[in-house]
Structure 1
């Protein structure tokens, strides 16, 4: 009998579930901006500075535009560590080396070992190739967080953390693993041949779902379980499932999600949005004694302006991964965490924007930098009845 593939990673110390997320974007690079003295100011792609507690920090920050006016902010923060880690594929072993010796191959056990790139070094490598208007392919994962603000209450947020970034050229093939997703990528948003590369994959546990009467889009309030020292840390995540009219006797994905119950699990795929919505607004003309006021529409043309009327934000779910749905996977204990009052480090206060990144890194439980916190346990969960079978 074939071995069942493990879907969810389990922490090898406390056996807590740890969900996975992934993004793959291709687009044009531009600087991120922040308000400074009520003026939007471009931020440096790479910054190195001392934090409030005396640590040295490297911050990588940029925006990738995956389609016309769909601007997604990407970041990475790295600190020097006590140790760096090497790995030998042939020996199947890892090796901890002093931080200062991480690039000195004379200190390696043998020539089969290679350095696992640290966030500190990765930030510098990627930052050195970023340039305004450059087209790049970017891959990474999501990190989630929450804080309690004295005025707004609980605020949930997410960050896109880059794992790798490479330049691309017009006409280049774009792959996802071994599969080709675009034969010839066109670096021109206005071209009819342009195809957006904007892919998100995320494992989620269900808290609740709600389908809107108008448009029938389904809102998902979900849990994302991430690394924690004593137990996995739960975060609240919001996603949307657009309604698409199904074919034949199938049901829509948006309708299927309404059948899920609290603590169910599924892996979803979709697209990340921070997309400006435009409308053509007709210019109003009010000229006194206008001799053309009574001329018919067939003989007049109105001038229009393209105006931003809103923003489409958040992850839109377009599919689920077959075989990942599991009923009643989570427990109340797994998704409950005592809220922390971090209002003094509110990332939504422009005055405290630099403390936003500091707060995340300085309170991270996993500060060892060890990339080998993996677990080889088999998936202990059996298949359940699948509400997506009728799609």
Structure 2
């Protein structure tokens, strides 16, 4: 069985082609620039050439491509976007227009004399081309994808609040990291980015989705040091978002989500300690430009930190000298694809027919 797992972040897209016929360590792996970073590079190339830009495609991750288009507009150059692509910057198209972007139809877009930049979070043609260059077969029995989706918040509602309400709703319904494993038909309508990403995969193979934060925490549990611990604190320091989970197996005692660039190293340590002892408040996280905090199972809280504090993510180096004395997890020898192992578990959760082959290589995880 061959499952393509793609963990789509702000700085990188981390790719694992899981092949159940051999050791996990032999499966092809790629860590490449994220789709939004690729789009940003193309926008900046057009800016340097003093050319207008037309953005087409679907709603996708913002960040770098949004900053690039802002710089393009500040340079006095025109920017156009089709409605679906424009929603990358804001679900409200009127607010996109206020940024200075002109919204055009698909028919108008093809007639413009401008550099075309296609926005999308999953480019299977590019992934297949990369694999084929090394004689790796490109037929997949399944695809597991993950991204962070703030969701289409109602007018007047903070997207940070709306995002965290979604996380809370999932774990309050079922307290298990695997509760975030979702079949395409079960994705809520408001998760527009996730739905666009899954739509790019479903014509190719059976597809499962999982939010990148829980996927990283679930993947981290495959590190032997973490997997043996009865209780753990897992911090995922992504390039844009920071998520912390206090766990007993896959059960969540507490969680919080923040923006990695908005918190100092000492503040991360404080948040982690107070997450574990049950005193971190939602208002405290939100008022410091984060998303929120939630305590689900206070029977696990303790003044002391859990036996293992695990750190993963591309910004993990910030805690290298931390008083938390963290373990830098590397499931199956590779930190950067921790999220991909979580995505594989999500695929097995959504498609039970795949569970035996995945568990035969990854083992089982305590609930």
* TM-score normalised by L of structure 2: 0.25
Larger radius of gyration: 1
Name the structure with the higher helix share: 2
Name the structure with the higher strand share: 1
